[in-house]
Structure 1
Amino acid sequence: SRWVVGADYVKKHYAYKEVAVPKEQFTAEAGCLFPFLSDRGRNVFLSAGLFALAGYERVNRNGRLLYDGATLLHKGAFIYGFAPAFEMEAFLTDRWAFLFNVRQRVFFGSSVGHFHTVVAVGLKYIIN
């Protein structure tokens, strides 16, 4: 198993007439991933885990008035929640690994939406 700590910035645009209204989330997260399946050579691992999340969400950079005079009801809000996660890690060499991660982020305190799916792809370099 391994512990993971990180920070995320997620931005999504919502269509409103001819413009796109941005929603931004700034979150910190911590969790643990447990490997549950690997190949014989231990080159590919599948892991599952759970993360705790906390942060801040803002819509339209906390501007309440839109260009046509409409008023947004959402104010900036502190958000918190959890995220079940699945990850695939494939070692390319002794020090490099390819990562594929899927998380279903569940938030409370948000007036925009409570469920957000995040898919991530990356490379990991092992220093030690």
Structure 2
Amino acid sequence: MHKIFLTVILTMIMGSKIFAQQMIPKQIGVEFTYSVFPKSPEKQNYMFNTGLVSYSKNGDYFFGLTEFSRKYYKYTSCDIPIDTFLLSGGYSFYVWGDFMRNVNLNLGIGGLVGYEQVNRGNELLYDSSMLTATDNFIYGANGKLSIESYLTEYLVFLVNGQLRFLKNSQMAQLSSLFGVGIRYNF
């Protein structure tokens, strides 16, 4: 009986040491993510983001990201590119994780602000049509659901889905993204 009790205590101590190495409050991480817009046309629509993550208590964290995205819209026989440059900030809540917290599910909410450029700033199209707006300041909000898996003590693999609402955008105001990424925690 004592051997079982000591085995359970030793397992809990070993587990707490491993747990203590991950998601420590005030721990900082650098994140890189590549995302795509679902149902993209023949040309690839994509988004890159990079930023910082700062953990708070219980696996929750603050995030601040810079993003660049390019999306093409079909116009007669050509594609019109829309480039977006965004700053994103918010908070991610720990929802679920295994006992060792090697795999976690997080739900994040945040705000977005940035700049959008249509057709690289050119108002005139190839058929002499004119665009009414080529540049816009945009703002909005986003929600993100992510699955985060620790590959090592410091390296985290991310899979996420986002839903975002952007005001003043030439794209659809409501859009979704699916992405994968990597985070390195210091």
Q: TM-score, normalised by structure 2?
A: 0.65
For 1:58, the aligned partner's letter is Q
For 2:147, the aligned partner's letter is M
1:12 corresponds in structure 2 to: 71
For 1:109, the aligned partner's letter is N
Identity of aligned residues (%): 31
2:163 corresponds in structure 1 to: 104
Q: CA deviation at 1:121?
A: 0.6
Deviating above 6 A after TM superposition, structure 1's stretches of 4 or more consecutive aligned residues are: none
For 1:32, the aligned partner's letter is Y
SS in structure 2 of the partner of residue 61 of structure 1: helix
1:24 corresponds in structure 2 to: 83
Question: Structure 1: 5+ residue runs without aligned partners?
Answer: none
For 2:62, the aligned partner's letter is W
Is 1:48 the equivalent of 2:48? no
Q: In structure 2, how many angstroms separate the alpha carbons of the residues matched to 1:109 and 1:6?
A: 20
Of 97-106 and 21-30, more deviation after overlay is shown by 97-106
Q: CA deviation at 1:17?
A: 2.2
* Bigger fraction of residues in strand: 1
Is 1:125 the equivalent of 2:125? no
Question: Structure 2: 5+ residue runs without aligned partners?
Answer: 1-59
* TM-superposition CA deviations, 1:76-111 (whole Å, max 9, x none): 110000001111100111121111121111011123
Q: CA deviation at 1:65?
A: 0.9
Alignment of 1:33-72 (within 5 A): 33-72=92-131
For 1:49, the aligned partner's letter is G
State the superposition RMSD in angstroms: 1.2
For 1:15, the aligned partner's letter is K
Q: TM-score, normalised by structure 1?
A: 0.93
Of 115-124 and 41-50, more deviation after overlay is shown by 115-124
Count of equivalent residues: 127
Compare CA radii of gyration and give the structure with the larger one. 2
* Bigger fraction of residues in helix: 2
Q: In structure 1, how many angstroms separate the alpha carbons of the residues matched to 2:102 and 2:177?
A: 25
